[in-house]
Amino acid sequence: MRVKRSRQISKVLEVYERCFGLDPKNLEIFLDHTFVRQSLVNNVNLKESITNLVGRGFRLVTSSCVIAECEALGTLFSSTLSFLKVVTELKCHHELNPALGAMWCIRKRMRVARKHGIFRRLNKDEKCFLFAIASNDPKLQGFARTVPGMPIFFVAQRCINTEPIPDATQQIINEITAKSFQMNDSELSRLHQIEERFGLQKAEVKKRKRKGPSGPNPLSCRKKASVTNATSVSREPLTNPNEVPKRRRKKPHRALHKTLSVRLEMNRLYGTPICKKSSSEPNAIAVNI
């Protein structure tokens, strides 16, 4: 799990170094009193844990406003105050305002880092104003997400974690990556010179001619019926209006109970007499056997 978290923070720092000029070898991690207190409550060794995540190229810093606020909170933050006095203290040119607290001082430093942001890799002679914020305050973390290229550390589940790249920062990274693939004016002019020198010209692409709308397919069209066929199929009208049309004669069907097999079965079961037509008397309907 520790290796996975170390790879995650290494990936985030690498992206911030390439796109926003963050210097991971000389990384400044600004400690908030909420972060230090949470680490002491969970028995987390700050220096050892941060070294395992970032490496040895970092520096723990805090401000005089944070120390003054810890002193104002009393004995509840006494252990936190003793730890913050050991790390590097950044002197503030203003006094602590109890109504605003140390958060106002930290947000001011974040605004300065956002104002002097560099959306490229840092050169040797340039100075980077970005730093990493270590805080468990949700409001301070939300403001830090608006600063592109600022890593955020927090204590959770007895270990130090880092937030992934925010969505707003990811959009800026995608735009920077897309622009990096585009050629500038000097590169385009150089490319044209090479084409003219070696005779490299783009082949003209012939446009394909589009055919106009054609008529219907004669093989798929049905032919119209002739007038003679239509008249022959139609029924001839009656010459005499008083003439009654002939009624169609239906073929008589013999009832089932009049068949010989049914009558034999009825005689066997119920003893009913079987009637049979007499050959000598053709007009007779049936006789008893």
Query: What is the predicted pLDDT for the residue at 288?
Result: 45
Query: What is the predicted pLDDT for the residue at 187?
Result: 85
In a domain, 138, yes or no: yes
Q: What is the CATH number of the domain that holds 145?
A: 3.40.50.1010
Question: What total of structural domains would you count in the chain?
Answer: 1
Q: Render the burial of 145-157: b for 16+ CB within 10 Å, e for the rest.
A: eebbbbbbbbbee
Query: What is the predicted pLDDT for the residue at 233?
Result: 45
Size (the chain), residues: 289
What percentage of residues in the chain have a pLDDT greater than 70?
80
Residue 202 scores a pLDDT above 90: no
**Residue with tokens 């798929």, as numbered in its chain:** 220
Q: By CB neighbour count within 10 A (0-12 exposed, 13-18 middle, 19+ buried), where does 71 fall?
A: middle
Query: What is the predicted pLDDT for the residue at 228?
Result: 52
In a domain, 40, yes or no: yes
Round to whole Å and give the CA distance between 155 and 35. Answer: 7
60 vs 197, higher pLDDT:
60
Query: What is the predicted pLDDT for the residue at 284?
Result: 41
Round to whole Å and give the CA distance between 203 and 197. Answer: 17
Q: CA 61, 152, 143, 177: dihedral to nearest 10 degrees?
A: 120
Query: What is the predicted pLDDT for the residue at 23?
Result: 86
Contacts of 263 (CB under 8 A, 6+ apart): 257, 272, 274, 275
Amino acid 257 reads: H
Token code pair at residue 83: 């730890």
Give me the chain's average pLDDT, please: 81
Round to whole Å and give the CA distance between 118 and 171. Answer: 16
Is the torsion defined by CA of 138, 151, 135, 158 positive or negative? positive
In a domain, 289, yes or no: no
User: Which band of pLDDT confidence, cut at 50, 70 and 90, is reported for residue 135?
Assistant: very high
State the average pLDDT over residues 122-136: 86
Range of the domain at 169: 5-177
In a domain, 186, yes or no: no
Query: What is the predicted pLDDT for the residue at 133?
Result: 95
State the average pLDDT over residues 18-41: 91
State the average pLDDT over residues 222-228: 61
3-state helix, strand, coil in the chain (%, to 5): 45, 10, 45
Query: What is the predicted pLDDT for the residue at 61?
Result: 94
218 vs 196, higher pLDDT:
196
How do residues 57-112 score in pLDDT, each as one tens digit?
889 999 999 999 999 988 889 999 999 999 999 998 888 888 888 999 999 999 99
How do residues 249-274 score in pLDDT, each as one tens digit?
776 666 665 677 777 888 888 776 66
In a domain, 38, yes or no: yes
What Cα–Cα distance (Å) separates residue 139 from each residue in 20, 103, 107, 157?
23, 9, 10, 20
Query: What is the predicted pLDDT for the residue at 252?
Result: 67
Residue 286 scores a pLDDT above 50: no
Amino acid 160 reads: I
Round to whole Å and give the CA distance between 161 and 8. Answer: 9
Query: What is the predicted pLDDT for the residue at 117?
Result: 83
Residue 42 scores a pLDDT above 60: yes
In a domain, 22, yes or no: yes
Query: What is the predicted pLDDT for the residue at 231?
Result: 47
In a domain, 63, yes or no: yes
32 vs 226, higher pLDDT:
32
Query: What is the predicted pLDDT for the residue at 282?
Result: 45
User: Which band of pLDDT confidence, cut at 50, 70 and 90, is reported for residue 30?
Assistant: very high
User: Which band of pLDDT confidence, cut at 50, 70 and 90, is reported for residue 132?
Assistant: very high
Is 85 within 8 Å of 67 (Cβ atoms)? yes
User: Which band of pLDDT confidence, cut at 50, 70 and 90, is reported for residue 278?
Assistant: very low
In a domain, 267, yes or no: no
> In terms of pTM, does the model score above 0.95?
no
